[in-house]
Amino acid sequence: MSIKFDEGSGIFTLTTRNTTYQMKADGFGCLLHLYYGAKTEGFTDWGLTFADRGFSGNPYDAGNDRTYSLDALPQEFPTQGAGDYRSPALVVRDSDGVYGADLRYSGHVITEGKYTLAGLPAVYANPNEASQTLTITLSNERLGLKARLLYGVIPDKDIITRSAIITNVGAKPFTVEKLYSSCVDFTHGDFDLITFHGRHAMERTYQRHNLQHGSFSIGSRRGMSSHQYSPVMILASHDATETHGRCWGMQFVYSGGFCAEAEHDQYSQTRIMMGLAREKFSYELAPGEEVTCPEVIMTFSNEGLEKLSHNFHACIRDNICRGKYKHSPRPVVLNTWEALHFDFDGRKILDVAKSSKSLGVDMLVVDDGWFRNRNDDYRALGDWTADEGKLGCTLAELVRGVKAVGLDFGIWVEPEMISEDSELYRAHKDWAMIIPGEKPVLGRNQLVLDMSRNDVREYIFNALRDILDTGITYLKWDYNRSICEVYSHSDDNSKAIYQYMLGLYEVLERITAKYPDVLIEGCAGGGGRFDAGMLYYTPQIWCSDNTDALDRLSIHYGTSFGFPMSAIAAHVSACPNQQTGRITPLKARCTVSMTGAFGYELDPMRLTDDERREISGQIAQYKNDREIITEGLYYRLSNPESDNVCAWEYVMTDGSKALICVVVPHNHGNMPAVYVTPRGLTQGAFYRDIESGKIYPADAIMDSGFPLDMPKGDCESYMVRLERI
């Protein structure tokens, strides 16, 4: 069993293959956190300390015992108003405007299988996986509040998940002002905090700093998980590296606003938490109502950051992603955006399709501009009817024409948005999120549809159904505007931003259920909604609108800490690059883009004969390497933020093959030799370099590395394929 409860001590123990998590319902009914770390036997409540700490309040139940204070004890679900002055996981305001809720343990249930969350994506257990759920109930009689803390355990992957459901079982309403899913307290330690910041076209940049006294938080107030911060946070021992040291990871399974906090308190204790963004969230619960905080995926490694990432990767790939493309080869696509923008017709699309087919491309994706009156980004969002005048045919006829060439057909949509200059807006102005009496804030000349409304969701589903019924097998689902105004004509506006996300997930669930063979690629101005919540419906996400190869090195590096390579959509684009103006060799662009789901963003008809031959070879090679790239273990061999060489590696889980990728951004005079040191090979084995035929002893090259050919210029790239003999 992965979950046990000892009635004598009140201790809960959650066990995975390599980790143990313990907490205790003590004599006062307080749920105290005890331990999360390497697998251990026995109980860990000996780690608690008690002392009379001035100005740290004591529960009334403790009487004259001033050594017991929740302001200093580690907790599982800290609340505001219970004597803990650190940041809480729950803040509640009653119907009289009074804040505070002291929650006490009132029961628990252990069940077989992994819990699900109504209306929300969540980790699931596969049929062959042992899993269990622990539900702990905390209660407050004054408010009539019950908090169900859900713990899911996937033992073989070292994954523990957490969620919280708040229910009003009383006679009066109360309002949830802050709600987090997870909290882990550490009684001592010197820690670094790793987060991933960025901006549009430069997402998920690795950032690490030593955690000092005070509070640090990241999050998004934009109604999406954001370009600015990834909903992934890692606490690491100060000496932790890729292959050494302790580290704890949290990842939010949600695509809306979030907050992650780390606090180093007055007693040098550390608290990390993750949950819903407090801004734009004030959720009133009438008697009988409940609200669910989305899930947090937690994992621990005492073997460094590499193992922690492998745990996240396996969980996302095997227990979040679903459907046909969960493990199936992804098609090599050519997207028309950077090639054509809005300037195309049906004949040009077919010409691009024929040229793409001759290169070995599997699918043509027609991006923005295919629907009526859409020749720029100022109008027509919401009017999802093909522009037959522009295309010269119906959408179904164009799909058939591309398929006759031998390619599958994909298309771009932005279903959650609406233009002021659109038939939909003129007919249903109240469907847009606009505050009455205020002029709306425009982002990319568009507004946001109110996904909390059933009629809006039904319209979007029907529009997408009509599109997909033409034979389309791929959707690029875009989202190019943050939510600024929060106003709904049909719901309590304090709930609208949360209900928006439930509405989005409902539509995505209906689409994936009706069209299980359609591959959906998520996108939000590139990587603005790159999260586990979207990956539940879209097994790959457009990693960034920035296709520059050198910038992508940092973007892919940061993304890799929380997400598998199979989730990263990366394309080779033309040069000079449209975002940076940089010129890089075609070989380097290919090496970088082969990080995950591979494709192209260029006009194949403008290629030279040499470029066509090179691209044909790239596609053929990618199809040979596709399995190891999307299913293999991923190793970060260098840090592009600080190292002169950027190197990464894929290894089949059985160690039979390895693919090592290297980019040297800058060449220098009389440059030192470039060495690469692989990891993850089978100890004691020998490997052959498939291209050169050289034989390497695995132990030696994993210890000392091996040299590459000297760079001949900037952005020199290498792909070394090793095969165990």
Rounded mean pLDDT for each run of 10 residues along the chain, 725 residues in total = 95 98 98 98 94 92 95 97 97 97 98 98 96 98 98 98 98 98 98 98 98 98 95 98 98 98 97 95 96 98 98 98 95 96 97 98 98 96 98 98 98 98 97 94 94 97 98 98 90 88 98 98 97 98 97 98 98 96 97 96 97 98 97 97 93 98 94 95 98 97 96 95 98
Q: 706 and 609: one domain?
A: no
41 counts as catalytic? no
* The predicted structure's pLDDT at residue 192: 98
> What CATH number is associated with residue 515?
3.20.20.70
531 counts as catalytic? yes
> What CATH number is associated with residue 238?
2.70.98.60
324 falls within a domain = no
Q: 687 and 716: one domain?
A: yes
Residue range(s) defining the domain that contains residue 273:
3-319
594 falls within a domain = yes
Q: Collapsing DSSP states into helix, strand and coil, what is residue 293? A: strand
Q: 314 and 387: one domain?
A: no
The answer to whether 717 and 661 have CB atoms below 8 angstroms apart is yes
Q: 429 and 528: one domain?
A: yes
Out of 265, 292, 319, a domain closes at 319
**Cβ neighbour number for residue 282 with a 10 Å cutoff:** 18
> What CATH number is associated with residue 707?
2.60.40.1180
Q: 18 and 151: one domain?
A: yes
Q: What are phi and psi of 606, to 5 degrees?
A: -100, 5
Q: 102 and 37: one domain?
A: yes
Helices (H), 298-427: 305-319, 337-340, 346-359, 388-391, 395-405, 423-427
**CA 456 vs CA 417, 435, 509: distances in Å:** 11, 17, 15
The tokens for 241 are 């590296």
* The predicted structure's pLDDT at residue 100: 96
* The predicted structure's pLDDT at residue 492: 79
Q: 388 and 254: one domain?
A: no
Out of 294, 319, 344, a domain closes at 319
Out of 631, 663, 685, a domain closes at 631
101 falls within a domain = yes
Element (H, E) at 612: helix 609-631
**Whole-number Å distance between alpha carbons of 143 and 131:** 34
Q: 307 and 358: one domain?
A: no
Element (H, E) at 294: strand 290-301
637 falls within a domain = no
Q: 426 and 499: one domain?
A: yes
Q: Active site residue: 192, 284, 290, 611, which one?
A: 611
**CA 168 vs CA 207, 284, 454: distances in Å:** 40, 10, 25
Helices (H), 489-585: 496-514, 532-535, 549-560
Q: 516 and 438: one domain?
A: yes
Positive or negative, the CA dihedral 123, 125, 126, 130 is positive
Q: 609 and 658: one domain?
A: no
Overall domain count for the chain:
3
Q: Who's near 386: CB < 8 A, 6+ residues apart?
A: 370, 371, 372, 394, 395, 398
638 falls within a domain = no
639 falls within a domain = no
Q: Active site residue: 263, 531, 649, 716, which one?
A: 531
Q: 47 and 20: one domain?
A: yes
* The predicted structure's pLDDT at residue 480: 96
* The predicted structure's pLDDT at residue 493: 86
